[in-house]
Structure 1
């Protein structure tokens, strides 16, 4: 935090947030996700971090972009948690890893393979990166209610986008191809760059976490076809957060709420 109580990278303070955050990687997705909240308003932007604020069921929800990869994602989770956010859902796009994946199918991530460097600065690699069960359930309920196709499973979180999409041109080509095949044969459903950081940093900071990503099928990526529509992804994430807010309210646990301009 800075001397005036603002988060160093996010440029937010406690009055800007509540207890809930949706975390897209892409700053261009923030306003579109926030438009699904009640009374959305722009709050701040610095570097890759853009934040909008709105509400669901009377509780404040922020949408903050994390940028690409573990380091910037860890910064966002750290600073939001320090401001009082205790429930976070990553909302992103990924490549699929299983051959039967339909283009645009969602992956509700239950755990992440820690094939990256950021989380090793927090916990040894033997410590699993797992989602919070009630967040997984909320995402499943939201997808079911919206009729959005999905599967639950493990994400492969890595540091190098091109090491996964074009491994054959890397000096480590044979090792990269072998590792990707191991993850695939082990049942990983998608490959992306942020979920492990959300889960591990959230675990260390006692934050509830989840992750939902829209998958491009391998055929669609190779054929250069159009990207699948992201609207079902955004709607599923927002409805899941609405479920979590409502469940907490029904249990009589008050979340922090601030005024929305």
Structure 2
């Protein structure tokens, strides 16, 4: 048995588009051969369910959500959660770098995603209407696994992640383009997959990971993984091979 894990946005699915049918068909062939397939994404549970709703014939065997902050089995049952301690969550949300520039901000719990009112004039970037809450309410939420911030540029995201990390060393900033997901240090895609193997008991002969951006780098390097043709040059340099699509990667290693 082999195990394949793919990033979602920009890898399994083009940014702003739908999952290509060729990828869905390749997943079916991969699973029919007796292998495991799953998503390894910065998305929370709600956005993953939204993405899969138009594809009832797509049945991942596992979900590594929130950059490894939440692990689910193929039926959606919780396997593991890396919750941010309440005092740390409140401290991060109180930092000016998250509030003073009025960037779009979201807080994700194990199950839900909520928009924080920062006075942002632009949307976060996902086509989903979410409950809006005040910053004071966000600080009181239970089982928070991720705080997501949209910056203007990737450079600004890197600087903001460094600022938060300096104040809270137990928090890491998983960056995809100009978006930051603040998670617990252990919540990254590399460790998320390692934890999945531990809690599932699976012992695959090989692990195939494919991703396209900075939050995928630790997993690409650790698992000697792959990237797609649309990825940035730094990802192509880190990957051991570049494929046109995820489906091509699955079929080449079937």
Structure showing the higher helix proportion among its residues: 1
Give the TM-score normalised by the residue count of structure 2. Answer: 0.34
**Greater relative CO (CA pairs within 8 A, separation 6+):** 1
Give the TM-score normalised by the residue count of structure 1. Answer: 0.33
